[in-house]
C-alpha cells in the first residue's frame, strides 16, 4: 500500500482502534501493524494531534510490566469526527470503485 494512501486513512484507523476500547500507543501500533506496514514512529504524532484537537484524551494506568502507560480514550468530539471520516471513506471508496471498474473500458 502506498505511503500517501496510508497517511490519508491512518487518523481514521487510529481513532477506530481507540473507539473500540481505551488503548496505549504501542498497543495501537501492534494492532495496526498486523494488517498494514507502518513504523511505530508513525503512530505517536497522530496520537498527539488527536489529543491536541480534542478528539482523544489521555490518562495514566499502572502496568505490571514497568512504568504507568498513557492510555487514550475517544471523546464525544472524536466520536463525531470518526463518524464523519467513516462516511467520507465509504463515499470515496464507492466513487473510486466505480471509476476504476475495468469493464467500463472494455
The predicted-structure confidence for 15-51, as pLDDT tens digits, reads as follows 999 999 999 999 999 999 999 888 889 899 999 999 9
Percent of the chain with pLDDT over 70: 91
The predicted-structure confidence for 64-79, as pLDDT tens digits, reads as follows 888 999 999 999 999 9
pTM of the predicted protein model: 0.85
**Nearest residue to 59 (alpha-carbon basis) of 46, 48, 72:** 72
**Nearest residue to 11 (alpha-carbon basis) of 38, 47, 64:** 47
| 80 has a pLDDT exceeding 80 | yes
Distance CA 105, CA 102 (A): 6
Q: Which domains does the chain have, with CATH numbers?
A: 3-105 (1.10.10.10)
pLDDT at 65: 86
**Nearest residue to 20 (alpha-carbon basis) of 56, 70, 53, 51:** 56
Q: Using DSSP, how many helices (H) and how many strands (E) does the chain show?
A: 4, 3
Amino acid at each position: 500500500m502506498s505511503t500517501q494512501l496510508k497517511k490519508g486513512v491512518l487518523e481514521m484507523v487510529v481513532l477506530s482502534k481507540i473507539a473500540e476500547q481505551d488503548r496505549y500507543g504501542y498497543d495501537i501500533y501492534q494492532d495496526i501493524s498486523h494488517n498494514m506496514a507502518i513504523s511505530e514512529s508513525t503512530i505517536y504524532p497522530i496520537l498527539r494531534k488527536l489529543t491536541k484537537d480534542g478528539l482523544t484524551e489521555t490518562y495514566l494506568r499502572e502496568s505490571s510490566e514497568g512504568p504507568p502507560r498513557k492510555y487514550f480514550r475517544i471523546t464525544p468530539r472524536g466520536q463525531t469526527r470518526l463518524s464523519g471520516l467513516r462516511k467520507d471513506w465509504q463515499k470515496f471508496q464507492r466513487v473510486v470503485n466505480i471509476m476504476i471498474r475495468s469493464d467500463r473500458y472494455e
